[in-house]
Amino acid sequence: MSDGSPKNILPRIVDPRRFCQQGVVLRGYVPVGELSRLTENKVVVDRVIAELAFAVDQQRERVVTGSLSVDAQMECQRCLEPMPLSVSCDVGLAVVWDEESSRELAGAYDPWIVASEETDLYTMIEEEILLNLPYVSYHDYSCGQPTVEDKPEEDGGSEKQNPFQMLQQLKDKMKQ
């Protein structure tokens, strides 16, 4: 599990435009205690590793590309027990000053609005993770929920649909 893990901590406060000018490449981890928004979303983060390359592209956009990899635990929405989860995602951002300039982006990049020189890199990483977490999460075995066979047909309704199944279907649709 831990092979190849970077040992250096990513800087929290960065000057992304300067990094782009200088072609900085960051590889490291985020101290898990720093990710409060994930905690608020009931995600217990075990490990966050990021590899981010800052550059100026051919359109003179200041861009950040790379990847994030997250090991975490979410609450299973069926049995409410912790469920391990690994998420990897690509990052493709262009550093912009405001909403207005974010609309002028060519489309290959998502805007990273940085209104001053320096910004909080962890906030950006956290947002990217939140965007890439599954909408709902379940153990991949049948946990904590009686199967249909186990249940006596007490209320005679065959029409019952599990709301979680509907969410799962919705999520599957969104993935396509």
* Residues contributing to the site for Zn ion (CB under 5 A): 76, 78-79, 139, 143
Cβ nearer to Zn ion, comparing 8 with 147: 147
At its nearest, how many Å lie between Zn ion and the CB of residue 35? 23
Tokens of 25: 């490449």
The DSSP 8-state label assigned to residue 135 in this structure reads S
DSSP assignment of 96-116 equals ESSHHHHHTS-SSSEEEE--S
At its nearest, how many Å lie between Zn ion and the CB of residue 113? 37
Tokens of 144: 């904590």
CA contacts within 13 A on the Cβ side of 148: 7
Cβ nearer to Zn ion, comparing 11 with 144: 144
- Those residues whose C-beta lies under 8 Å from the C-beta of residue 6, and which sit 6 or more positions away, are 27, 28, 29, 49
Cβ nearer to Zn ion, comparing 81 with 98: 81
Cβ nearer to Zn ion, comparing 44 with 79: 79
At its nearest, how many Å lie between Zn ion and the CB of residue 37? 24
At its nearest, how many Å lie between Zn ion and the CB of residue 131? 24
